[in-house]
């Protein structure tokens, strides 16, 4: 069965949230499916935490609907909340107790969490060998993993983690990726993680939603995003008269010519078009002193979509 044929595990429909005059989340809609790791990507202040807090029940949307595992958050709050697990801020834990004891105490909050399930989540997050040590002896990465174990105890259908890679080194990020992939692909959990770093989202996720200024700008698979970012390329053409070259090229490539300097201009075209572009210039009497392909990274594509990245309030 393809992703799209399954019932979504989380549905966000036309959700809006304002704080005073500030619209933190502006008419956002998207679905997340069982078995996928969805990355919620946006710069600081984009609205990621606000959406996550609404889904996790910390506060209500002003408008719109949130459905978790088929339960409307508004009309079936308890069933909706029972279907979700997550970490928004640092998980509370008793530092002098072992990870296993912490999980046993936390398990009392939920019905039907067995000793076997505790062993299972400890295994899933790779802490079985250290489970009987007090949490205060844990590294930051291990503390985050025990938080993850806690969030997974009651077998949630949706797992939500706000910026889970904060403070993790590259090895920690890969380990987290493996754990989340296992949750999604093997246990069928719908996983949503947020981050402001595309490189981290790219490592962990199957699909991304890009948000800025409270608006969802794009939603696509990581593969489509990579292809899209790579399909158009910026070339820097060196010529003795860039203004004239611009005139010649603008008939066909209007809006795609920029940075016209003393002896260069930049043009954003598809790779197949560069030959024709150079031929047009030569045929019209322009001299070509050089053509350079400028590397554009995925990170730049992301910054372009979000309008330059850092959002100044
Ligand atoms: N409780 C609040 N009261 C007032 N304004 C808020 C509140 N929470 C968030 N905001 C505002 O809403 C906007 C979105 O904030 P949010 O925390 O959701 O962004 P974010 O994408 O999580 O950013 P970051 O990457 O920095 O964590 C910001 O302008 C923020 O200042
Ligand atoms: Mg945030």
Q: Which atom of ligand 1 is nearest to the CA of 51?
A: 18
| Interhelix angle 140-152/99-107, nearest 10 degrees | 30
CATH at 262: 3.30.70.1150
Among candidates 219, 229, 258, which has minimal Cα distance to 242? 258
Q: Are 52 and 160 in contact (CB under 8 A)?
A: yes
User: Do 7 and 154 share a structural domain?
Assistant: yes
pLDDT tens figures, 183-210: 998 889 999 999 988 888 888 899 999 9
Identify whether 310 is part of a domain: no
pLDDT tens figures, 34-83: 999 999 999 899 999 999 999 998 889 999 999 999 999 999 999 999 99
**Residue 297 predicted with pLDDT over 70:** no
- To test the pocket of ligand 1, the residue of 17, 43, 48 to mutate (highest count of ligand atoms within 8 Å of its CB) is 48
- pTM as predicted: 0.79
CATH at 65: 3.40.50.300
Q: Whose CA is nearest to atom 5 of ligand 1?
A: 19
Q: Which domain holds residue 184?
A: 3-228
Q: Are 268 and 234 in contact (CB under 8 A)?
A: yes
User: Do 140 and 23 share a structural domain?
Assistant: yes
Give the mean pLDDT of 290-309: 72
State the total domains in the chain.
Answer: 2
User: Do 86 and 7 share a structural domain?
Assistant: yes
CA separation for the pair 201, 37 (Å, rounded): 10
User: Do 209 and 244 share a structural domain?
Assistant: no
Give the mean pLDDT of 282-298: 86
In the sheet that 63-68 helps form, which strands lie side by side, from edge to edge?
22-32, 10-19, 63-68, 71-72
CA separation for the pair 163, 184 (Å, rounded): 18
146 lines ligand 1 (CB under 6 A): no
pLDDT tens figures, 114-148: 999 999 999 999 999 999 999 999 998 899 899 99
User: Do 283 and 142 share a structural domain?
Assistant: no
pLDDT tens figures, 216-274: 998 999 888 877 776 678 899 999 999 999 999 998 888 788 889 999 999 988 888 99
CA separation for the pair 196, 229 (Å, rounded): 18
Identify whether 311 is part of a domain: no
49 lines ligand 1 (CB under 6 A): yes
User: Do 293 and 210 share a structural domain?
Assistant: no
What pLDDT score does 312 carry?
36
User: Do 209 and 162 share a structural domain?
Assistant: yes
- To test the pocket of ligand 1, the residue of 40, 50, 213, 302 to mutate (highest count of ligand atoms within 8 Å of its CB) is 50
CA separation for the pair 51, 14 (Å, rounded): 12
Identify whether 313 is part of a domain: no
What pLDDT score does 298 carry?
67
Identify whether 309 is part of a domain: no
Q: Report the residue count for the chain.
A: 313
Give the mean pLDDT of 101-115: 89
What pLDDT score does 310 carry?
39
Q: Which atom of ligand 1 is nearest to the CA of 25?
A: 14
| Ligand in closest contact with the CA of 53 | 1
pLDDT bin (cut points 50, 70, 90) of residue 291 is very high
The alpha carbon of 42 and the centre of ligand 1 are apart by a number of angstroms equal to 12
| Interhelix angle 115-124/140-152, nearest 10 degrees | 140
**Residue 313 predicted with pLDDT over 60:** no
Q: Which of 179, 206, 228 is the last residue of a domain?
A: 228
Q: Mean pLDDT, the chain, as a whole number?
A: 89
User: Do 147 and 293 share a structural domain?
Assistant: no
Identify whether 76 is part of a domain: yes
In the sheet that 37-41 helps form, which strands lie side by side, from edge to edge?
84-87, 158-161, 190-195, 37-41, 207-212, 215-221
User: Do 82 and 186 share a structural domain?
Assistant: yes
User: Do 263 and 164 share a structural domain?
Assistant: no
User: Do 88 and 22 share a structural domain?
Assistant: yes
What pLDDT score does 2 carry?
53
**Residue 90 predicted with pLDDT over 70:** no
What pLDDT score does 309 carry?
41
User: Do 198 and 237 share a structural domain?
Assistant: no
Token duo for residue 307: 């309008």
Q: Whose CA is nearest to atom 13 of ligand 1?
A: 24
DSSP string, 181-195: HHHHHHH--EEEEEE
24 lines ligand 1 (CB under 6 A): yes
The alpha carbon of 192 and the centre of ligand 2 are apart by a number of angstroms equal to 13
42 lines ligand 1 (CB under 6 A): yes
């Amino acid at each position: 069965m393809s992703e799209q044929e399954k019932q979504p595990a989380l549905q966000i429909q036309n959700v809006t949230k304002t704080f005073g005059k500030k619209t933190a989340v502006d008419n956002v809609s998207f679905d997340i499916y069982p078995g996928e790791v969805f990355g919620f990507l946006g710069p600081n202040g984009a609205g990621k935490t606000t959406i996550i807090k609404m889904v996790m029940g910390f506060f209500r949307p002003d408008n719109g609907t949130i459905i978790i595992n088929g339960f409307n958050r508004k009309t079936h709050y308890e069933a909706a909340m029972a279907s979700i697990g997550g970490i928004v801020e640092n998980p509370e834990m008793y530092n002098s107790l072992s990870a296993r004891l912490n999980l046993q105490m936390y398990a009392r909050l939920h019905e039907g969490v067995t000793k076997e399930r505790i062993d299972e989540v400890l295994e899933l997050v790779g802490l079985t060998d250290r489970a009987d040590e007090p949490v205060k002896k844990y590294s930051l990465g291990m503390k985050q993993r025990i938080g993850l174990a806690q969030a997974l105890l009651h077998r949630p259908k949706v797992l939500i983690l706000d910026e889970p890679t904060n403070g993790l080194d590259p090895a920690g990020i890969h380990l987290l990726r493996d754990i989340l992939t296992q949750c999604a692909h093997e246990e069928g959990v719908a996983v949503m993680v947020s981050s402001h770093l595309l490189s981290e989202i790219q490592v962990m996720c199957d699909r991304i939603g890009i948000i800025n200024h409270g608006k969802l700008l794009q939603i696509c698979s990581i593969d489509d995003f990579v292809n899209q970012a790579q399909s158009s390329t910026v070339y820097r053409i060196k010529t003795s008269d860039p203004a004239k070259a611009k005139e010649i090229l603008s008939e066909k490539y209007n809006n795609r010519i920029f940075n016209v300097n003393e002896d260069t201009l930049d043009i954003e075209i598809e790779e197949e078009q560069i030959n024709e572009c150079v031929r047009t210039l030569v045929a019209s009497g322009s001299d070509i002193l050089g053509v350079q392909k400028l590397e554009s990274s995925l990170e730049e594509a992301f910054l372009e979509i979000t309008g330059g990245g850092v959002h100044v309030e």
